[in-house]
A and B are shown apart, each in its own frame.
Chain A
């Protein structure tokens, strides 16, 4: 490919490519995100190729591997255009039927369509599926359409047009103004206004400046950044290049979590292709603007997602946070002004410049504009990556998009913002999800994790789990964070084991306060949220553990025991076969006897019993 040497070159290329795409009558896009890959979606691709070749259709049908479509619950996904027929949980053996019926005859394969768990209605078109229907997929929308390993695909769909427009028509300060006007707030969690950060870096003295993509996504169960980088790396890169132009940076870093090999691969390829096309490097699109970006990999510490720790890590030092009076925007890498933004923040930039700040600001509410990607996981029917305008209520997210609670159980709490977010109870389901509302209630936006819990979740156990995660991920510098979290964990562990004393609740509250107040960085400052929020909204549950030595949700092993209902049991022997410690004794054909001292309360029999004859006490 010839290097693009002017903005008109880029426009011409876009038109050519788009025209060629128009000729595509039949297109099949296959999700090859990490989630679907785990379900062997690459084999589906091979099966499609084989089948198309066998039927001499390879020339007529475009087959495309894409990044994550978001509806991970139903993966692997295949979408057939035109018609946008979405097939769920596709297996390699389904391919001949799809080719025969859908690609040749234009019919749908009913059994592969999404079926609503409640009501059983099937949906053919992707956009009709309730999971997608209530979303506004400003950033994720392209994921299902383009091959992340092809810059041509991105350009064909209007990619790099925002960069072209910026370089042709706007001065750097106009770009910063536009971002300010959009009211975009940092998607990494704190929600700091991006435009103001950019202005600080832009106006900071000195020639040498840096831009950084924070892709050190580490929250358990959260994968929005990974999916953007795996599925649409050029979108993030375009945002970064625009930012570099606006702030006068010559070099950029993409700091990527160690555990994201596919994102790294796609990103490196994107950087190479962008360089080959003259969109990165010296004299971008023939202008006087030059910019280079490289990837840096984290070494596996959660805390390097924190800005000052990330800057330290990029420079090869131990990834530990530094003093907070130093503003990274002014003194970052090598003491030079450094604009550090989250993956999702950068991905918003091309959209803002394509369609204008006022359009962008019309999404969401006044102080919380635009959309936000959440990873909706836990006990909901439709888990996956979702994108909604800020200010959408929890109810819409969990019940309309998420399809409600699995197995018809009752909603209990939702934890927002990753491991150091708070757990919000049912009474806040009408809460508009934005940076400020969540903070007011003792939770946070964080990077956008959302873990839904049902009646079977024990809130003491939840708090204990997150303290365990955080104590291991604290860098250990501040005593308040290192020991504060550790001691909170010890107390919670004691409560879960039935050894807690009531007066320990006060101590727990004091520790939570001190960890929040006395710690240096965001990790320590927010670490106590799971404890304080559960104490605030689910105190009764703590008291049941402490006073009655009872776990109401039946989770804390030390406080529960299993009982067998002789009436319901028909002696099928399934539980006896599965019990790892042989605690269910007796002859097959009659109800077994549960030998309590042997029982390790693993719950396997409880889960397995077809007659629900085993219950928790």
Chain B
């Protein structure tokens, strides 16, 4: 077993900031990250390429004298207290910690509507990942739909990759967007960012109060039905990228016994969870964006390293980032119509092929799961669990280990300290 003073799970902005801050305070730090390079979802494919801020943090992580970064490493389950079972390319390993910082980020919220399982329909992040993975997008007609500023960024990226972005369909209406926009000039950096995006997007149509009702196609996406007020039309396209928001990856926190509220890990002012010695930072502790993640990560790193005074100056930045996140949340709150899109035959759980109608007769997530197998497949409810929270208001039950599907051989690994000798008892 390897042992570290501080173990950080996740190398997105929060995890990087946590590791750097803790190590610069003198702690021995280990970062466990499932990706191939630091950056997480938001700085995917290497932080250096994304922004100067990202590059600066990545450099500090790389140059950290006391930081061991373990990429392609998936945390599987807690072993004994202060110990995690991880799966690495070279096999299973147990990693011990004195303090743990969870920076496990968030995943996309996918909502079911008729046709959403057709090839060609993805999440916005999913499409970005496909393009990075080499799927050709040049000349293909794309509709970007859903909600939030991410749609603009994604559409700009798609245009740069040569895609023909037919429309950005923002479900929120102009009244909310204008109220939000009126506050933007107060923040010159964000205004500049918005203007740059607008320039890249050129004449790409942007409709507010507009959403996808249905995806059409025999084998592959051919068109979508769009809705805008009373207007409804069919838009031919080969790709539909949907972004309805993010869901915290709180599964590991839950298996560690951390309190969860509305899907996010509950933290105090010092980023500490309900479990002593375990902290959480970034999207896993509530969706609030990169700047909040960086501030929260740094605070968590300093607190875990026993340097609360260092964390002090970051509190104002965190508060500002969270205020902005609350405004975003209000501006882009999902409209009720999106909960009504699925028909009786729309598949909600893709792993187990469970239809909307089969779920609708159940009173709770647990009842639906037990009797329909919704959420029992390989994704373990990561996709359909979040969807049913929106559709039915259900609270998915606490997750069971392993945190992610894993080779049985890995689960056989236990810490030496915790092993038991059963042969005597049998």
Does B associate with A? no
